[in-house]
Structure 1
Amino acid sequence: MNKEIAPIPAYQNLLQNIGQALHSARQQAAQTVNTLLVQTYWHIGQYIVEFEQGGNEKADYGSGLLERLSKDLSSLHGRGFSRSNVFYMRKLYLNFPNSETLSHKLTWSHYFEILKADEPLEISFYTHQTAREGWSVRELKRQMKSMLFHRLALSHDKEGVLQLAAQGHDIQQAEDLLKEPFVLEFLNIPQSHVLTETQLEQKIIDHLQHFILELGKGFAFIARQYRMSIGGKHFYADLLFYHRILKCFVVIDLKRGAIDHQDIGQMNLYLNYFAKEENTEGDNQPVGIILGAYKDHFLVEYATASITNQILLAKYLLYLPDKELLSQQLERLLGDADEHDADGGGVV
């Protein structure tokens, strides 16, 4: 007669402990393999660049050297040496000449996508931000396609852009939550389609995970249509979040069309309510974000001039922004800053 090995809870605990040990070991093994692969590809890039510097041949994307290397390495060592892979190995070394600056948190698949960017500032930003946020390759591709670096950079001065590229996007104050514009292409709403604000809100709820990723790190969803009872009347905030880094409530109001002064006044009312009625010990002052299809800069300036609450106004797009336009705007920003410094207008 078979004896019972152990009580069921104890046996389940045994299985769980073994499973956790296996999972941890497999994760470490995969991380080690990824690190070694990236380091190996960096060395291959180094050898290619040193071959070039010896005056042998330039290895641009269409060069005969890369094509020959791709064929010979594939023949000798198997898969993984397509011409594009070999090209990006070379580019990896050129952009990270010190191998110690490579992130152990990123796989070769991450670097392959990041190196598709043209500018060193952009490459540096996505490297730091991917490691900081723990993005999957799929999410990295989406953020690059939505021009995240450009959208964040255009809200900074030149010094801020350089810091953004060197460190990634660090949330330290309410203004750091702002992107211009927010991109909601994941809602899959045709440009010509007219939605009500309620329908837009429902679409966002249906794609809440994507929306939180677009908002950025630190957002925790609390409720939609959050009710506030003030003076016998009921008011409803479209979306309510708590930001765990800033330690504050974030109230989001959605506008189908342009943002006007009444929207700003209403948000001010909401924030006063949250500061008085909802904040508890340790909470900082609440932040309001009004997302609209349009905003008038002069109206914003006049409507918010005497308001002490933190109200951020931003446009949203239902489609990906124009890459060329954002690139030109960023170049103009950096160029204007250089001219200003050259004229003696820099900060001493």
Structure 2
Amino acid sequence: MEIKKKNERVNVNNNIYQNISELLQQARKNVNKVINSAMVNTYFEIGRMIVVEEQEGKKRAEYGKKLLETLSKKLTLEFGKGFSERNLKQMRMFYQKYSIGQTLSAQFKLSWSHYIFLCKIDSLEERNFYEIESTNNNWSLRELKRQFDTGLYERLVLSRDKEEIKLLSKQGQLIEKPKNLVKDPYVLEFLGLEGLTKYSENDLETAIINHIEKFIMELGKGFLFQGRQVKFTFDEEHFFVDLVFYNRILKCFVVIDLKIGKLKHQDIGQMQMYVNYYDRYVKLEDENKTIGIIICKNKNDTLVEITLPENNTQIFASRYNTVLPSKEELKKIVEDES
């Protein structure tokens, strides 16, 4: 009995420790946020002062260069590292980029490293989009760079009309209807398949499962993984859905079929059957209609359009890339489509 009481005391102590630990970790996060916000706002103000001084000073490049040299030496002497000429130029650029056309920028919720990267994006609309998405999704700098390198903005632009494109730079990616979930193409460079001359659909599926967190990030917002090769039986015949997800934003199932070859009309018909089955036998009354996405290596858009009903809002076909496309290639696609 005495031993049991000692164990109970240890459990209580562990609970207290866990609660205190979580409290301290949250406090550190809050402190870091305050420090980061103060630092970014300070750098913005330093950038403003430099720009004002240069504008009021001599209208020559030599003056600006001398100003930065002098400031760098004096600030470094008094405040230490962090005030090299290069860093001061970045502060100046930061102010120049963000003094107009601000979105969430007035609050500066991201890190200084995030803003240095964002300043390299020339398009105001695109820069605003990535800032909003980084803030809303708590992207690390690494994730922001990947989303930019995979051309998330360009890929979303391809599937939206002019009014929806405007909203991207003001509100970020809104998930209000099924087609908002879909990207074309999906970029799956993280699967490590680019070096293989040949692989099967099972290889593709297995690679996705092995990198399921990254795949969910690529799919977008609100996705929860349900399972792979999900079996259902109809008229004593067994069927297997490659991947099944649930989207908590649209409150619906999302079934995904993987095709490594050219998309055929039979594939679309099969997906239609999957979607119908989930709508009639799986989804609850308060859930929305199932979305079906066929992710394929190649597709004929005309074939997809003529196979699906004109009022289709549930089934989509998208390409996938196993290599990282260049920004130039993606921008060219956007220009050709517009």
**TM-score, length-scaled by structure 1:** 0.87
1:92-241 aligned within 5 A: 92-97=94-99, 101-190=105-194, 193-241=197-245
CA contact (8 A) 2:76 2:82 kept: yes
Decide whether aligned partners of structure 1 residues 237 and 64 sit closer, same or farther in structure 2, where only a CA change above 3 A counts.
farther
* Whole-angstrom CA distance in 2 between matches of 1:187 and 1:146: 14
Structure 1 position 298, deviation (Å): 1.0
1:324 aligns with 2:312: no
* Whole-angstrom CA distance in 2 between matches of 1:268 and 1:112: 46
Instruction: Give the aligned partner of residue 28 of structure 2.
Output: 26
DSSP-derived class of the 1:236 partner: strand
1:288 aligns with 2:279: no
Decide whether aligned partners of structure 1 residues 51 and 302 sit closer, same or farther in structure 2, where only a CA change above 3 A counts.
same
The root-mean-square deviation of aligned C-alpha atoms, in Å, is 2.5
Instruction: Give the aligned partner of residue 3 of structure 2.
Output: none
* Whole-angstrom CA distance in 1 between matches of 2:71 and 2:184: 43
DSSP-derived class of the 1:7 partner: helix
Amino acid at match of 2:27: A
Structure 1 position 14, deviation (Å): 2.4
Structure 1 position 26, deviation (Å): 1.1
Moved more, 108-117 or 29-38: 108-117
Decide whether aligned partners of structure 1 residues 16 and 53 sit closer, same or farther in structure 2, where only a CA change above 3 A counts.
same
Amino acid at match of 1:51: E
DSSP-derived class of the 2:43 partner: helix
Structure 1 position 92, deviation (Å): 2.1
Structure 2: unaligned runs, 5 residues or longer: 1-5
CA contact (8 A) 1:261 1:303 kept: yes
* Whole-angstrom CA distance in 1 between matches of 2:15 and 2:256: 44
Amino acid at match of 1:257: G
Moved more, 101-110 or 208-217: 101-110
1:53 aligns with 2:67: no
* Whole-angstrom CA distance in 2 between matches of 1:204 and 1:277: 27
Moved more, 62-71 or 164-173: 62-71
Decide whether aligned partners of structure 1 residues 279 and 326 sit closer, same or farther in structure 2, where only a CA change above 3 A counts.
same
Decide whether aligned partners of structure 1 residues 57 and 136 sit closer, same or farther in structure 2, where only a CA change above 3 A counts.
farther
Amino acid at match of 1:85: N
Moved more, 207-216 or 277-286: 277-286
% identity of equivalent residues: 42
Structure 1 position 56, deviation (Å): 3.4
Q: In structure 2, which of residues 311, 314, 319 is the aligned counterpart of residue 310 of structure 1? A: 314
DSSP-derived class of the 1:193 partner: coil
Instruction: Give the aligned partner of residue 8 of structure 1.
Output: 10
Instruction: Give the aligned partner of residue 44 of structure 1.
Output: 46
CA contact (8 A) 1:58 1:65 kept: no
DSSP-derived class of the 1:166 partner: helix
* Whole-angstrom CA distance in 1 between matches of 2:158 and 2:110: 26
Structure 1 position 282, deviation (Å): 1.8
Post-superposition, which runs of at least 4 consecutive aligned residues in structure 1 deviate over 6 A? none
1:77 aligns with 2:95: no
Structure 1 position 177, deviation (Å): 0.9
* Whole-angstrom CA distance in 1 between matches of 2:335 and 2:55: 30
Q: Deviations over 1:82-116 (max 9, x none)?
A: 44433332232223227873345311122122222
Amino acid at match of 2:198: V
DSSP-derived class of the 1:245 partner: coil
Equivalent residue pairs, number: 329
Structure 1: unaligned runs, 5 residues or longer: 337-348
Amino acid at match of 1:13: N
